[in-house]
Each structure stands twice: as C-alpha cells, then as structure tokens.
Chain A
C-alpha cells in the first residue's frame, strides 16, 4: 500500500517538474496558441482549419526562420468545438505570452471577447464571431476581418438581388442552432420588411445535424425561392444531400463561407452540381505562397505537419492559411512600428489594427488575386470586406462572380446599435476613441 502510494507521489512530482520545465521558453520568440478541434462532431472542418494555419506558420519558420528574426512558437490546444474546453485552453496558454487568439469557433469567441480587454490579448475571429465586434471604438481588442457575418449576409442578399430581385421572394434560412448559426438572424429579420422578402427559419440542432429530414420536409412544404445556409461540420453535406433529395434547385442554394468547402461537397459529389457558396479566399494551389508551403512543409521531411497533400488548396485550408497571413502581417506591422522582433500582446493589437494588405503586398507575399485587400483602422475592425460566389461543378469550385460589396450603409448602423447594446449593462467596459 505504502509502496504504491509513494510511487504515485513520485510519479506526480516528476510530472509537475516536467510541466514546469516546459514553461521555460527561448527569448525573442512569438508565441501563438491555436485552439483547434481535430476531434468531436466538427473534426472534419476543424482539421482543415488547423492544418492550414499550422502549415503556414511552419513554412515561415522553415523558410524565413520566423518573422523578422523571431521564431514562431505555435501550440495547439484541442477544444472539440466546446466552449468550456476553449476557455480552459485560453487559461492554460495566456500566461505564456500569447500574442493573439484565433478561437476558430464563435462560441469560444463570445467567451473571450469579454476577457480580451482585461488580459490585454487581442482576439482575431477571422470571418466569424460576434458581428458587432467590427465596431473598433467599442471593441478595441476584437477583430473580425475581412467581414462580419452581417456584412456577409447583406452581400449574399445583394447577390440574390442581382439574380432576379428580392422583392416578393421567399428566402429560407437553414442554420446550425448555436450562437454561430443564430448570428445573422437579427439582420435578416430587420432587412426582410425593408427589402420586401419573406423569411423562413429552419433551425438544426447539433444533435440532429445528420437527421434533417424534418426541416427539409418543411422546406418542401414552404417552397422558398432561395435557401441560405449557415452550417458547419456534418450539417453541411447532410443538408445538401437532403436538398438534392427534395429536388431543390442547387443554383438557388447558397452556403455561407463555412458551408461551402471541399469537405462538405466531396461527399455529395456530382449531384450537388450548381451549389453556390460565398467565399473571401480563393481555393487552389497555383499561388506562389501555397507552392512555398508545399515545398517547405508538405514535401519537407524535417517539417512538422499533419496535412495530406491532396487537401492543400482546399477552401478551408486556404482560408486558414489566410488567417495565418493576417496574424503574420499584424506581427510585421507591430515589429516595424515598435522596432523590435519580440513584441507583446498589446503591441500585437496595434499591429492588427494597422494591418495593410494592399494588392501590392499580396503580390509580394505570393497571393496575388487571392483575396480582396485589407486595410485595418481604429474604427473599423472588419474592413467591410467583399465576398465572391463560387459554384460547385461536381468535383471542384469555380469562381462565378466578382467581388460583391456588402450593404455598408444599412449594416454599419445596425452593428453600431448592436455594439452599444452589448456594453449597455457593462459600465466599466473599455472603449477607445478614434479620430
């Protein structure tokens, strides 16, 4: 008994020492924690997200030795898309000098938004999270480049308008019934009477992601003219399969940028031909930067990666690479401004706010024509980004439109109202003034 006990104690003590040792880190390194989900119901999408960002940072380390002479130290923390575990990851990594958090989940983002100003660590929720975070005055520490969900929704409506008008049409909105999926509903409800369309909502619970026949039975009964989807994980292929089953016209079915990727469409294949999706980063491997990733990471036996080569260039992978690019550009901006390679989280916030990804810069880093240029500012943390539509041709996506701008004049005031509402009952909320 005593022997066992002392062995256990010795084992635990050894474990603790090792944990303590692992905390010690080299100087002039840039520590970036990554909350990922390679497990759980959303693993297929989460893995693509995680791989893209990881490979990009690994490429920078392999090719350039980091950014500006400082090596990138990237640590993954597994959340399983669970907000509680996300917070646990946040608490376990923030003390190590985390520069920025990319939560990769709207649920986790919502938890971190309130913590960011206290711990002084910025949150970059690229293309997800709280739409109102676009208001830089109210949310100095949160960024959602290149567009908030509300801007995206209005761009999609603009597209529908250009394809035969919105007035008198019925638009079905099928969404994952969590914070993420519910996010655009206030905007849709506000715009429906203004633009004269009818809105029908079809929530899909996380548990019924793969059994949506009830929702699609209702779709068949209601006969909407267009369907818009805010789905994630296994919900996407299931919804597209059900839509095919009820013979819903695929070219009237639009997925948001998280609902139109290769992992969603490959399982459905040929029958989903014509399915539309919004996007802000181009898929494909033709870009010099993606080629660099293949050369320095995927084909390099010394590099650390978990990516299968055929998945490079897929929609989610490329978008995650772009997420990495935004972080890197933020770091570069901060390094140049503060004149040192090792920056801290507060300086990182400045960097993110002053990101300048012009067309020239995009070309320089090997991403010409990959996405719309982004220029950060104090007041605008989403940059009112435009999106384009791409269409599934049975095996791959084809870009079918040019950039579609959002309805900034309508969305911006609504974002401001929402931001004001968010801090209404928080008297100590930290704002910033922009000139």
Chain B
C-alpha cells in the first residue's frame, strides 16, 4: 500500500541510473537525514546524551565505514581478509605520526591521508592474493594481522615513545572547536564522522556500480572467466585491497582520534578483526545496506541488552555473559534462517511490503 512503485515512470536514462529510483526510497533517505540531525540535537531518548553519542552512535558510524571497506574486499571482490583490525591500526598510527609531524595541517586531511597510508600497506599484504585464494589467503592476511600488531607494540617510534606504549591523542581543532582529545565537542565529532560516512558511502556505491566494481564482482564470481574477457587480476585484486584498506585506515584513524582518545595495541587485535568480519557476514556480503545493518546490529545489540538488563536490576556480570551468549545465538540463527544476512531480510520485507496488504 505504502511501498508501491506503480505509476512512477522513468523518462530518461539519468532517472534509470539513479541510486534511489523509487520515490518511497527517496522519502526514506530524507527521513534518515532528518533523523541524523535530530539525533545530534537530542541524542537517544532515555539515555544520557554523551553516553548515547560516545558509546553507541559514533562507534556505530565508524564501524560502518570499516564494514563498508571490508565488504568491498570480502563481499564484492571475494578476497577473504582477517587483517582488518591491523589495517585500522595502520590508519590510526599513521594519523598520529602525520599530526605529530604536521600539527598545523587540518586533522581532517590527516584522516584522509592516513587512509592512503593504510591503502599502501594493504596492497602490499594483498600481493599474496594473486597466487592464493580462500583459506590460504585467510592465513596470509592473518600474517599481516600478527606482523602489524607486533610492529605497533614493538616500534616505539610509532607511538611517539610514550612511556605507556599507548597512542595519546593530542587536541586538534576545526574552526576553533576542539574535535579530538578529551575536551572535544561531541556534537561536532558526530557530524565529522557522519560526513566521512556519507562521503565514503557515496564513493563506495559509485565504485561498485561502475566499471571497477563490476570487475571486482567478475573476479569474485569466476576469476578465470573474468581474466579471459579482459579483466586484469593483478590490478583488480590489488585495487580491491587498496580501496578496502583505505576505508579501514580512515575508520581506524577516526576510531582512535574521535572516539577512543587513547589506544593500545589491543584495540587492533585479531578479536576486532573477527568482529568486523561478523558485521559484514551478518549484515550481508556484497551489500552496502548490509554494512550499515551489520555494524549497527553487532555494536548496538549487546549494549542495549546490557542497559535493559541493568534497568531490570540484573547484575553487570550476568548481563555481560548473557550478551555474549545472545550475540552468538543470534549470529547462528540469522545465518541459518538467512545466510545472506540482514540486507537480504530487508530486501524480502520490501518485496512483501510491495504486495501488502493484498498478498495475492
């Protein structure tokens, strides 16, 4: 009834190619846009503003960028990687070094530049993908994870010789407002992360709709056939690694500078790499919407569960254990019921909405 495209005609090629061809989707996106602003003003009702922003919304947006990047590599190009956490670390440490050397350059530029540093490192560790695939590639990227983790902990130059061995984020400003460090303004931080997320989503969706994205998908679906019709595996695979690592690098820099404020190696460890892979798999491989849904689900679900438990008076330890069990059970259930993830569920419900309320 509400979601029906009957009567919406496309009269030009441009209209046929647009990202949201259906009017209802456009309205939906508009509502999301309004929500994004409303959230900045009031936070999440019922939760403290700072808590809602710093513990739920900002990390979710940052992890969505990570999930987008990983989805490009795993979902679209079919190259499995377990080095996501480490590539985020590359972004974070690169950003720290850049802003130490060039403190006057705007930190936003450093965020982008650290993405490029991560892209170079990611391409280097993506080289084995030219010869090996599947589980063997997983092991090779695992090597990247372990090597980079080792480097973050063992090379004091990377963390500016801090006695604690941790990244200490200096205060940086944008238009005179502090946006990193402890005195940062949360609302500004939110808008910066939102800006990066929106920009990078736009870039990702266009990359995927275009020639590059199609060549990634060809390599994913059948690499020999793709090679025969003229897709160069070297360039395609490495570009997937580069773009994916760029996304991870930017999100890593945002994670440490905007969200955490200080970070040790443990913020980039293998458990986090698994977490990001879960986001992509739960959300839906090869889907941009899925990256959003997966990141939100994996990050917000346990926190909300804990808050709800707390309000019922259960003790914190019990809720922690319950949320660990619950997230595991939910992953299993979702993967059994819908192996293509939340994005596919959303697609199915859209199909059903088209027919509703008359299913015949």
Q: Mark B50-68, 1 if CB is under 8 A from A, else 0.
A: 1100110000000000000
Check: A373 CB closer than 8 A to any chain B CB: no
Q: Choose from A22, A76, A111, A117 the contact partner of B317 (Cβ within 8 Å).
A: A76
Q: Choose from A17, A36, A96, A114 the contact partner of B261 (Cβ within 8 Å).
A: A114
Rounded to whole Å, the gap between the CB of B3 and the closest CB of chain A is: 12
**Residues A91-116 near B (CB distance < 8 A):** 91-92, 94-96, 106-107, 110-111, 114-115
A183 and B50 in contact (CB under 8 A), knowing A16-B45, A22-B310, A107-B264?
no
Contacts of A418 in B (CB 8 A): 163
Cβ B264 vs Cβ A19 within 8 A: no
Q: Which residue of B lies closest to A131 (CB)?
A: B163
Check: B143 CB closer than 8 A to any chain A CB: no
Check: A178 CB closer than 8 A to any chain B CB: yes
Contacts of B183 in A (CB 8 A): 118, 428
Q: Mark B165-181, 1 if CB is under 8 A from A, else 0.
A: 11011110000000001
Q: Choose from A15, A17, A39, A114 the contact partner of B168 (Cβ within 8 Å).
A: A114
Contacts of B349 in A (CB 8 A): 1
Cβ B163 vs Cβ A16 within 8 A: no
What residues make up the interface of A, taking CB atoms closer than 8 Å to B?
Answer: 1-2, 15-23, 36, 38-39, 75-78, 80, 82-84, 87-88, 91-92, 94-96, 106-107, 110-111, 114-115, 117-118, 130-132, 177-179, 182-183, 186, 206, 306, 418, 421-422, 425-428
Cβ A92 vs Cβ B51 within 8 A: yes
Rounded to whole Å, the gap between the CB of B145 and the closest CB of chain A is: 12
Contacts of A78 in B (CB 8 A): 306, 316-317, 319-320
Contacts of A80 in B (CB 8 A): 320
Q: Show 16 A/B contacts (Cβ-Cβ < 8 Å), sorted by A.
A: A1-B349, A1-B356, A19-B310, A36-B316, A38-B317, A75-B316, A78-B319, A80-B320, A83-B260, A83-B264, A83-B266, A91-B48, A110-B262, A115-B261, A118-B183, A178-B264
Contacts of A96 in B (CB 8 A): 48
A95 and B51 in contact (CB under 8 A), knowing A115-B182, A178-B266?
yes
Q: Which residue of A lies closest to B182 (CB)?
A: A114
A76 and B308 in contact (CB under 8 A), knowing A91-B54, A428-B171?
no
Contacts of A306 in B (CB 8 A): 315
Q: Choose from B260, B267, B304, B317 the contact partner of A15 (Cβ within 8 Å).
A: B304
What residues make up the interface of B, taking CB atoms closer than 8 Å to A?
Answer: 45-51, 54-55, 100, 153, 163-166, 168-171, 181-183, 260-267, 303-304, 306-308, 310-312, 315-317, 319-321, 324, 349, 352, 356
Contacts of B165 in A (CB 8 A): 178-179, 182
Cβ B48 vs Cβ A84 within 8 A: no
Interface of B is mostly: helix
Cβ B262 vs Cβ A111 within 8 A: yes
Q: Choose from A131, A179, A183, A426 the contact partner of B171 (Cβ within 8 Å).
A: A426
Contacts of A177 in B (CB 8 A): 153
Instruction: Give bound CA distance, A92 to B55, whole Å.
Output: 8
Contacts of B316 in A (CB 8 A): 36, 38, 75-78
Rounded to whole Å, the gap between the CB of A361 and the closest CB of chain B is: 33
Cβ A19 vs Cβ B311 within 8 A: yes
Cβ B266 vs Cβ A206 within 8 A: yes
Cβ B266 vs Cβ A130 within 8 A: no
Cβ B181 vs Cβ A114 within 8 A: yes
Contacts of B310 in A (CB 8 A): 19, 22
Which of B49, B303, B316 has the largest count of A CB atoms less than 10 A from its CB? B316
Contacts of A428 in B (CB 8 A): 171, 183
Cβ B266 vs Cβ A20 within 8 A: no
Q: Choose from B163, B265, B324, B356 the contact partner of A183 (Cβ within 8 Å).
A: B163
Instruction: Give bound CA distance, A31 to B191, whole Å.
Output: 32
Contacts of B45 in A (CB 8 A): 16, 20
A92 and B48 in contact (CB under 8 A), knowing A18-B312, A39-B320?
yes
Cβ A111 vs Cβ B260 within 8 A: yes
Rounded to whole Å, the gap between the CB of B12 and the closest CB of chain A is: 35
Contacts of B356 in A (CB 8 A): 1-2
Q: Choose from A115, A132, A426 the contact partner of B163 (Cβ within 8 Å).
A: A132
Instruction: Give bound CA distance, A425 to B46, whole Å.
Output: 38
Rounded to whole Å, the gap between the CB of B99 and the closest CB of chain A is: 10
A88 and B317 in contact (CB under 8 A), knowing A19-B308, A206-B266?
no
Contacts of B169 in A (CB 8 A): 114
Which of A77, A206, A422, A426 has the largest count of B CB atoms less than 10 A from its CB? A426
Q: Choose from B46, B100, B263, B264 the contact partner of A20 (Cβ within 8 Å).
A: B46
Instruction: Give bound CA distance, A206 to B271, whole Å.
Output: 12
